[in-house]
Structure formats: C-alpha cells, structure tokens
Amino acid sequence: MASIPIGIAGRAAVGFGRKLTGADREEVDAELAAKAAEQLFTVLGELKGGAMKLGQALSVMEAAVPEEFAEPYREALTKLQAEAPPMPTKTVYRVLDQQLGTRWRSRFQDFEAEPIASASIGQVHRAQWSDGRTVAVKVQYPGADEALRADLKTLSRFVGIMSSVMPGTDVKAVLDELSARTNEELDYRIETENQRAFAKAYADDPDFVIPKVVAGAPKVAVTEWLDGPSYASIITGGTREQRDRAGMLLALFNFTAPKRAGMLHADPHPGNFKLLEDGRMGILDFGAAARLPDGLPPELGRMVRLARDQRFDELTALLYQWGFVLPGRSVTHAEIRNYLRPFTDPLHSESFHFTRKWLQSVAGRATDISSAEFKTGISLNMPAKYLMIFRVLLGSVGICAQLDAEAPYMGILTEWMPGYAEVPDPVQVEEPQRSGTSGSTTDE
C-alpha cells in the first residue's frame, strides 16, 4: 500500500520535469493518471481481501466523479469487480480437499482449474456436478480471514489517498462498514443460508433468478450456474432496452426483497448482477445481507413522502426525532430543503433518467467544502440501523447512473416502500367566507 503514494509522488516529479522541457501538459497529466490507475488496480488486486473489497465499493460510485478525473480510474476499479489475479491451481485443490474431503472430485463430473472470476476473498470456478448440472464453485483464499482484517486496519491509514481517487465518496464510512461485515462474509455457510432464503422467496419469479445452493462448507460454496451478461458489460456496451430494464429490475429487487425475503442484498456492485437472455435479472453473491425481518423501516417511507411533497419543516422534525442530526448540532428546515433538493429529483416524476451528469451534479454540491450544502451535511448523522440500507440504495443509484437507465422508479417506490402512503396530506385551511345577507364578513 505504501507504494501507491510513493509511486504517485515519483511520477508527479518526473511529469513536472517533462512539462518544464516543453511536453504537452494535458498529455502528461493523462499519462500520469493512467499509470496511477494501473498501479491502484495492481496493488488492490494483489492484496485481495479488504483492499479489493474497498475497490469494489468505490467502483459503484465512480459515476459521481467528474469526467476529468474518472476515466482512467473507471476501468481500473471496474476490473476489481471480477478480474483480480487468481490463486494457483494447487492451492485451490488443497482448499477443496480440506472443505469437501479428499474425494471431492467424485462429486463432480468435471472441474475447470482456471477460474472464471476472482473477487475479494475468493474466486469462482465453473464445474459440472455429479448429476450433470453446471455449477459455480466459490473457493475462499487460504488465510483470507486474517488477511482481510489486517488489510482493513492498514487501509484506514490510506483514506486520504483513496479519497483523492474517488473524491465524491466517504471512504472512511465505507471502510467502517466493511469492517463490521467481515466475519459474516468470511463464513460461506452464512452466505449459502442467505442465498437459500432468497431463492425460496423468489422461486419461479417472472423477473428474478436466484441460483440454488448445491453444496456448502465454511470456505467453499457450490451453486447453480447462471449464464448472461453482467451489469458491468451492459454498462460498457448494452442497448437502450437492456439499460432501462436492468435499472428497473435493480430498483424492484431492492424494494421487494425486505418484504419477500426479510433481507436486503447488501453488496451492490455491477459484477453481482446479470441480465439474462429472457429479460430476467440474475443475482449473485449473498455474503453481505442486511436482515430486515419486518421489512424496510416505515420511517424511511415517511421521509421520502415528505421530501417529495417539499414539507421540509415536518421532515426536519423527523430527522431530529430519528437521530439523523448529530448531538449538539442544529439544522433548519430551510437548510435541509437546500441540502436534499438535488437528491429528490427522481421523486418528482413517474419516470426518471439516471445519468452520470446528474449524479456528478448532486455529489458536487454535497461535497464542495465551500458550499452551504456541505456545511449542512457535516451536521447530519447516519444511525447504524440505516447504514446498510442507505449503502444499498445509494449504490443502486450509482449503478443506475452508470447504466444511463430510465425507468418508472417512483411507481416502484410508492408500491413497495412502507410508510410512504401513511403520511397524511397537509391540512387544508378554508378561506374566510362572505355573508350573502348583511354585506359584512364573518370569520369561519
């Protein structure tokens, strides 16, 4: 990790010298940015563990980064979703021996030694199960548990460097959340339990496919194979129809899952979602899940309704009541109105078009330290019970902006978000009426 700032500083010095000798400034800056991005991918990819998980989390919100900074890092961070350097084949076989028994080969008709995807704490191999089904075999890297915890501790010292790569993202908050979910994601038995619950809730659904679990162990998970382009490939080359449908289904899945499965899929990055040929959405990787046995908290629906109706005085009172304002700080409803108004654009039309330009505009105002919105933002708080929910919803907004998707998001929200319909309409005050007999007025 120390090589990142050292490398950036060294290349900057060389670039400065080249500029002094007459080299084109824009060409030098572009070359430096591309080399920094490549170094970032190499370091985060080789470290895997927490470093790579951070890269995956950052990649979701790259659409919020201004274009002059984003392009070199976009490709490097997107690689981290499924293209990390793999572990040696003999290491894979050793893990399978330990987790499935030394006769694990008898459970497969075929097993491809070369991984088809390499992620933060494990990699995926295509295989054929004994009954002929094509399956995905997820194998955890040896020592991933100790490495992940060590990586997250080390990464906390590099928040400043990571923030310079993704200036529109609160990197520290992302790291804190990743640390809190570490233990659950390291035990694949928890992941397969989550996946079974989702698969049951969405069995035979016309819009969604959850692969069934075939076998599981603490460090190995075997699930049915799922064909189809990932959201990452749709972002780079999908048709308008694919983009819009992918965005719509992502929103529908996130709002229906808490009610149908009692959980929220909490690892929103494009590598975890597919759009199948029949138009259904396929969902992968259930290691991170927010348990919501009672569904989404209804207070969130009430807040959305008040924001849509621009009743910011009532909304501000609820923010205080539910702990969204830091102790000892104060905000006015006018400040909340100005802070939230850019975020509420999708609430004011039945269909909304999420674009990078829109997200960059919203993030720019909220993160500009000289703006009034930034000063309001530092007085606000994210209570722990809502952290995972907001991560998923904001991550999904980032993916929709990457997709350049347009869909009837408001209809999905109003149908599936508890509390939204419970907010009473504003009390209507009758105008004074004139008396028709005496010519005088009477207050009613």
The pLDDT value recorded for residue 185 is 81
Low-confidence ranges of the chain (pLDDT < 50): 1, 5-6, 8-9, 15, 19, 82, 165-169, 427-444
Quick one: which H or E segment has residue 337?
helix 333-340
Contact status, residue 139 vs residue 217, Cβ threshold 8 Å: no
Name the DSSP letter for residue 383. Answer: -
Positive or negative CA dihedral for 276, 281, 282, 284? positive
First to last CA, the chain: 73
Residue whose token pair is 């690689």: 79
Between CA 223 and CA 283 the distance in angstroms is 12
Quote the tokens at residue 267: 């690892």
Pairing relation of β-strands 208-209 and 281-283? Answer: parallel
The pLDDT value recorded for residue 124 is 94
Give the pLDDT confidence score for residue 149 in this predicted structure: 72
Helix, coil or strand: residue 122: strand
Tens digits of residue pLDDT in 50-61:
555 555 555 555
pLDDT digits (tens, 9 = 90+) for 173-213: 666 766 666 667 889 999 999 999 999 999 999 999 999 99
Two tokens at 80? 């981290």
What's residue 286's pLDDT? 93
Q: Which residues contact 311 (CB under 8 A, 6 or more apart)?
A: 426
CB-based contact 199:210 (threshold 8 Å): yes
Residue 241 is given by DSSP the state H
Q: Cβ distance 265 to 199 under 8 Å? A: no
Written as six digits, the tokens of 220 are 């190995």
- Nearest CA-CA partner of 251 in 406, 361, 356: 406
Q: Please name the residues in contact with 314: beta carbons below 8 A apart, sequence gap of 6 or more.
A: 306
CA atoms within 13 A on the CB side of 205: 23
DSSP character at residue 246: H
CA distance 18 to 409: 50
Neighbours of 285 (CB within 10 A): 24
Tokens of 66: 């201004």
Closest by alpha carbon to 223, among 138, 140, 288, 280?
A: 138
Nearest to 58 by CA among 151, 177, 141, 153: 177
Residue 175 Rama label (left phi>0; alpha psi -120 to 50; beta): alpha
- What does the pLDDT look like over 214-231, one tens digit per residue? 999 999 999 999 999 999
CA distance 316 to 417: 20
Based on DSSP, count helices (H) and strands (E) in the chain, helices before strands: 19, 15
Give the model's pLDDT for residue 342.
83
Cβ-contact 119, 52 below 8 angstroms: yes
The domains of the chain are located at: 228-424
Closest-CA residue to 139 (of 48, 50, 268): 48
Reduce the DSSP state of residue 281 to 3 states and report it.
strand
Q: Which two tokens stand for residue 102?
A: 């030394």
| Nearest alpha-carbon partner for 349 in 308, 395, 289 | 308
